[in-house]
Amino acid sequence: MSKFSLKGKTAIVTGGGSGIGKAIAKTFAAQGARVHILDFNKKGADTTVKEIVQAKNKAVAHLCDVSNQKKVNEIIQEITDNDAIDILVNNAGIAHVGNLEKTEEADLDRLYEVNIKGVYNCSKACIGPFKKNGGGVILNLASVASSAGLSDRFAYSMTKGAVLTMTYSVAKDYVKDNIRCNCISPGRVHTPFVDGFLAKNYPGKEAEMFEKLAHTQPIGRMGKPEEIANLALYLCSDEAGFITGTDYPIDGGFLKLNG
């Protein structure tokens, strides 16, 4: 664990109960971090923790709606009473399919609350402890939708564009406090969300549509959650100490090779 070791560090991962967040939590724990998972789905968070503990690593689950600032502050305070936080991964997020006409006000509000306000709440709660401890790392999960026009992703793209620009702002404002802030922009990644989306919208044609979606990436497949987690590990490790204010696409060539 000499390279990319997180031994002795404490990491918070939001949305760590499934998908990319789960992979990040397990990867960080395997590299020695004590991981705190904040998730609205306590059952999923508990399952992730169980798997981490079975591997003889350390993790704790917290029931948390990241859009609720009071609850976020309480949990971060609870964690900092016992641990010095080193890393925050803002992974929790929700999706919506629809163009402007098919996006209702309630849809917009729902995505704003989690995808934007959730990042704000958790980041703000951790800035004070980071400054007190002499530094820290914030990693945000943005998306290729942050910088590319995607069909029928009006609300989702809006929120992920905000995540990208929040990343730049935090990196700029806190660089002198030894706080690094970067973001990752995944393309399409094979998670339980994808399987649920296909089952709901294309019953009986799941395999066909899966292949179609997979090949929107020039590399010819969807990403794996573990691949996103490996990039997250690097960006949150001491080896990435010279990196801040940067967006990292991990998209099978989607942004640069399509067209």
Query: Which residues are part of the catalytic machinery?
Result: 156
Q: Which amino acid is at 17?
A: G
Measured between alpha carbons, how far is 208 from 205 in angstroms, rounded to an integer?
5
Q: Is 5 in contact with 57 (CB distance < 8 Å)?
A: no
Count CB-CB contacts under 10 A for residue 100: 8
Q: How many CA atoms within 13 Å lie on the side-chain side of 169?
A: 10
DSSP letter, residue 153: B
CA neighbor of 229 nearest in space, from 44, 89, 115, 119: 89
Q: Is 139 in contact with 85 (CB distance < 8 Å)?
A: no
Bridge pairing between strands 87-90 and 247-250: unpaired
CA neighbor of 169 nearest in space, from 129, 127, 114, 115: 127
Measured between alpha carbons, how far is 119 from 152 in angstroms, rounded to an integer?
23
Measured between alpha carbons, how far is 216 from 218 in angstroms, rounded to an integer?
6
CA neighbor of 135 nearest in space, from 100, 84, 67, 192: 84
